Structure 1
Amino acid sequence: MARKVILYLAESLDGFIAEPDGSTAWLSQLAATEADDAYQRFYAGIDTVLMGRKTYQRALRLAGSYPYSDKESYVFSTTLHDTDDPTTVVAGNVPEFVRQLKAKKGKDIWLVGGADIFTDLLKAGLVDQLIITIAPVLLGDGISLVASGISDVDLHLTQVEPLGQLTALHYDVHQPA
């Protein structure tokens, strides 16, 4: 079975993945035992993590150290050159790199974030699935899931997963033939 690139994240009910300053502190205020269990199941099914520089730096600030050191990890950046953890920095053609990564044997690949990287990979037809956990929070403003420049992406709802006060929506991305 081919590896899938899966965007897995939480967003507010009004469609933001972070506050305007990039903060996701609102997530830690939610009592989300069921969501935590779902995350652990998802995490066990991946062996590779992809993210942009801003997401990487935010993860380091929040966790104090790199939280995915047990996974093969890639950070896409043209300004970051070295890391103090097992992360590999990729500065070249992101879609081509991910295309090659998908062709290798392994478990699924988690696209942690960056709206720009998600949008670029979606445009390139390299995102296979979205798992979006909707949190019962209205932020009013913030960072959107998608950067501008995409239109008419065909998604197929495959599962609705109640997780206490949160709900995970699982979508397959239908690529044009």
Structure 2
Amino acid sequence: MRTPTPSPAALLITGTVGSGKTTTAAAVAALLRQDAIAHAVIDLDALRDAWPSPRDDPFHEHLMLANLHAVTRNHLAAGALRLVLAGVLEDPAQRPLYEQAASAPLTVCRLRMDLRDVRTRLRQRHHDDQDALDWHLHRSGELDAILDAAGVGDAEVAVAAEQAPSAVARAVIRAVGWNADRD
């Protein structure tokens, strides 16, 4: 009897700015690679990085979703079984659009980190750009509150400032049930 081919699945790692979404996505990919699971990592910020933004779409959501659809279609055609997305989903009403663009069932995992630690990371990241630092410091609290109110996550993982990305990735994989046996 032939073993059935697993169906593709998508994971969106979300959280406020500075919570470690992109770093965690890369660490999840490393674990998937160790397990020989075909996958792709997609940074949603890269898919929306264009200027200027339309007034009615300041974060280029429409552009990002169109790009996500094209990119995931190509990754799935190339054999990816797991799509690891790093980005922000603020509005639960947008979730079906993300899932449709990903062309696979979507699980959302929110990274939750103490805002004091987030702000420390942001100060390190933007130490040479005061305008970017000011914007990100303000946005971190604003976005954290938006995510609290929205409740878009299927799972949530607490992240400590000193926690290794691989440990966060293992916690995410466990939380979403992609590999419950990982330590």
TM-score greater than 0.5 by the shorter chain: no
Bin of the TM-score, shorter chain as denominator length: 0.3 to 0.5
TM-score, scaled relative to structure 2: 0.38
Q: Which has the higher helix share?
A: 2
Q: Which has the higher strand share?
A: 1
